[in-house]
């Protein structure tokens, strides 16, 4: 049986979040939480919250042993991009793209 959790419109670049997400794919949940705890990236704390939520969702399913859960998949998709403008010299303006992410974590019994 599998359970999932989603976090949408998270203010972290999908490219940077995928670097952290690839470290925990296929690992047991306990190992994945330890990896995220000691990863010094912004996306690690966000993924930690989503993974914890997925484990809590799995607890609600009857007959699921939480100790045998593993991370089946972590999907980081691109959300909407916030567009901002930075004034530059001689009256020009440069675009600043503040990217957002949609993060989905799926856990299953191994």
What does the block give as tokens for 62? 């009857």
**Domains of the chain as residue ranges with CATH:** 2-109 (3.90.470.10)
pLDDT on residue 1? 86
Tens of pLDDT, residues 71-84: 999 999 999 999 99
Q: Compute and round to an integer the Cα radius of gyration of the chain.
A: 17
pLDDT on residue 8? 97
Task: State how far the Cα of 42 lies from the Cα of 33, in Å rounded to an integer.
Answer: 15
pLDDT on residue 63? 86
Which residue stretches of the chain have pLDDT < 50?
none
pLDDT on residue 81? 97
């Amino acid at each position: 049986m599998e359970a999932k959790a989603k976090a949408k419109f998270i203010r972290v670049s999908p490219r940077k979040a995928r670097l952290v997400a690839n470290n925990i794919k296929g690992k047991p949940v306990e190992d994945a939480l330890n990896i995220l705890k000691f990863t010094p990236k912004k996306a690690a704390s966000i993924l930690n919250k989503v993974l914890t939520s997925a484990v809590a969702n799995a607890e609600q399913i009857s007959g699921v042993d939480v100790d045998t859960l593993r991370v089946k998949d972590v999907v980081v998709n691109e959300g909407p991009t916030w567009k901002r403008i930075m004034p530059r010299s001689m009256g020009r303006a440069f675009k600043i793209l503040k990217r957002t992410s949609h993060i989905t974590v799926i856990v299953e019994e191994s």
